[in-house]
């Protein structure tokens, strides 16, 4: 088993065990807010028996990692809605109301435990976490009471009604796969016919474009013909006028 300091140094190792949030309650009961999902910075500090500044400083140094594990900041309307349901609005520490509030889900609290150096509680969480991880790797010889909570829950779910439903879903998916394989040749033929239709439409489009250009040319020719006819009419009128004038003279 690696020493607990390994969790302080390796994010990859921390990421590999971040789901084992059940170890928090094994070391010390973690009291959540009424929503059952989050705790505040103050509650994190109280759990690890350190000052709030220690937690804030840690969150600042590892902000990206903490955000990836669910830590987030509430402001404005979201904060007001959350406070009405989960926090004591008469808290004397914020006589003018909070400007923002940082919330930690259990994953983020475990993240704190794996990074907080000056806390006996955090150190015990790290040691317990590594012990559970080592026990989980020992295979069939591990007792049920030592199995990770996630594995126990998974086995119970698969053994119950949900497991039978999942089997039914898997069977349906298998039928869908075979149906798709049967449809594949038909879909290929449809695709080929659609390609042929596209080619014919392209050919028709080219013919229509050529006809449109020809009609434009004919329109220009007709304009010229109308000009010529108008000129001929004018010349004919002039000739008749000259002949009539000569007769009168």
The residue whose two tokens read 């979201």 is: 78
pLDDT, tens digit (0-9, with 9 covering 90-100), for 143-153 = 444 455 555 55
Q: What is the pLDDT of residue 141?
A: 47
Question: Distances from the Cα of 119 to the Cαs of 50, 154, 246, in angstroms?
Answer: 7, 33, 130
pLDDT in tens, 187-213: 778 878 888 888 888 888 888 888 878
> Distances in Å between the alpha carbon of 43 and those of 39, 70, 89, 185?
6, 16, 16, 62
pLDDT in tens, 67-116: 999 999 999 998 988 988 887 643 545 445 678 899 999 999 999 999 99
pTM of the model: 0.53
Domain boundaries, the chain: 4-80+98-138, 159-248
């Amino acid at each position: 088993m690696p020493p607990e300091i390994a969790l302080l140094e390796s994010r990859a190792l921390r990421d590999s065990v971040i789901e084992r949030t059940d170890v928090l309650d094994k070391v010390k009961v973690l009291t959540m807010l009424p929503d059952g999902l989050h705790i505040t910075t103050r509650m994190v500090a109280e759990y690890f028996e350190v000052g709030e500044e220690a937690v804030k400083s840690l969150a600042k140094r590892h902000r990206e990692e903490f955000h990836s594990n669910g830590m987030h900041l509430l402001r404005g309307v979201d904060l007001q809605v959350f406070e009405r349901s989960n926090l004591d609005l008469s808290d004397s520490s914020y006589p003018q109301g909070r400007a923002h509030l940082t919330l930690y889900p259990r994953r983020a609290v475990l993240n704190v435990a794996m990074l907080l150096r000056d806390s006996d509680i955090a150190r015990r969480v790290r040691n317990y976490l590594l012990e559970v991880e080592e026990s989980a790797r020992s295979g069939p010889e591990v007792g049920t009471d030592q199995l990770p909570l996630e594995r126990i829950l998974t086995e119970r779910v698969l053994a119950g009604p949900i497991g039978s439903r999942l089997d039914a879903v898997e069977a349906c998916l298998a039928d869908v796969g075979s149906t798709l394989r049967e449809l594949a040749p038909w879909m290929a033929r449809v695709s080929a016919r659609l390609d042929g239709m596209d080619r014919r439409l392209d050919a028709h489009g080219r013919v229509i474009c050529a006809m449109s250009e020809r009609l434009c040319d004919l329109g220009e020719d007709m304009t010229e013909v109308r000009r010529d006819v108008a000129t001929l009419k004018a010349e004919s009128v002039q000739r008749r006028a000259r002949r009539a004038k000569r007769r009168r003279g």
